[in-house]
Amino acid sequence: MTGPPVHRRPGWPERVAIWEVGPRDGLQNEPTVVPAAVKAELITRLVAAGLRTVEATSFVNPTWVPQLADAEEVMRLLGPAPGTGSLAAGGGPPGSGDGVRYPVLVPNLAGLDRALACGVRDVAVFASATETFARRNLNRGRQQALDGFVPVVATAKAAGLGVRGYLSMCFGDPWEGDVPPDQVVGVAGQLLAMGCDDLSLGDTIGVATTGQVVDLLDRLAAAGAGPGRLAVHFHDTYGQALANSLAAVEWGVTTVDASAGGLGGCPFAGSATGNLATEDLCWALAGLGVDTGVDLDALVATSRWLADRLGRPSPSRVVQALSAMEGR
């Protein structure tokens, strides 16, 4: 495969860490259950393609997300993460170690207990910047949910785990409309203060624009949350996920969430479409001379393999273009 022409620009980072969310955020919205063996093979293929952080599953109540009811089975099939001797490297944001990481989402102490029983070393909690989404997604008010995460994060940190904080609805909410940036900054501060190693800012319904992204990042930095503790997570409802991610990277963020093949959505926000495709992000960053450590050929092959099992083509533009070039 011929990669994109490289034009290095001043001020861009040498490397960006990709937090791959396809096996969890990507598959949780599938209409039919994907077998645990397929999920485990997907994760193994993604690691072989060079991705070092692959979010594996969620230890959520299966009543809420039936697609992820097989969390224990997926982790059993995966076994130890390559180069770590455990199910994840643990201990901080991606790029802080050389080992492969298999983070999992935990909604409460019960979910954390299940994850710990599986030997997991990286977990994430999931908060909302808005009240309505917190009640619809977490079945609790926004502050009540945040208060509930305090013992989860404390217990995880005491066990030596790496902890990520997800913050959804940072730019727009389907019920509340535009989200005031100071509201986002306030919730972000609580997540970091309770001990989260890093914070992923989610554009859950894909309405953000580049100026809005940079404005929020500026406000977070002014409040003490610099680029080293931030990641971005964009959905592509209006086709802006890649542009928004690149704006964040140019600003200084060096961890970007993406989903192989552009899979994803949100089962609790009907307007949310797929995540930023990992392939599209890798192509754009490669053209800027930014290293991701990803073998794009292997990643595209993996997304085509998964698309065959899901019975539909990948929505990633790069996967589509390179597949057409190969006559598929």
- Report the number of secondary-structure helices (H) and strands (E) in the chain: 11, 11
- Picking from 283, 247, 202, 228, the residue whose alpha carbon sits closest to that of residue 25 is 202
Catalytic residue among 118, 196, 266, 282: 266
Rounded to the nearest 5 percent, the helix, strand and coil shares of the chain are 45, 15, 40
3-state secondary structure of 91: coil
Residue by residue, DSSP assigns 147-216 as HHHHHHHHHHHHTT-EEEEEEE-SSEETTTEEPPHHHHHHHHHHHHHTT-SEEEEEETTS---HHHHHHH
For residue 118, indicate whether it is catalytic: no
Please return the burial class of 243, using the count of CB atoms within 10 Å of its CB with bins 0-12, 13-18 and 19+.
middle
257 and 21 Cβ atoms separated by less than 8 Å? yes
Distance of alpha carbon 202 from alpha carbon 80, whole angstroms: 29
Distance of alpha carbon 306 from alpha carbon 303, whole angstroms: 5
Query: Which residues form the catalytic set?
Result: 266
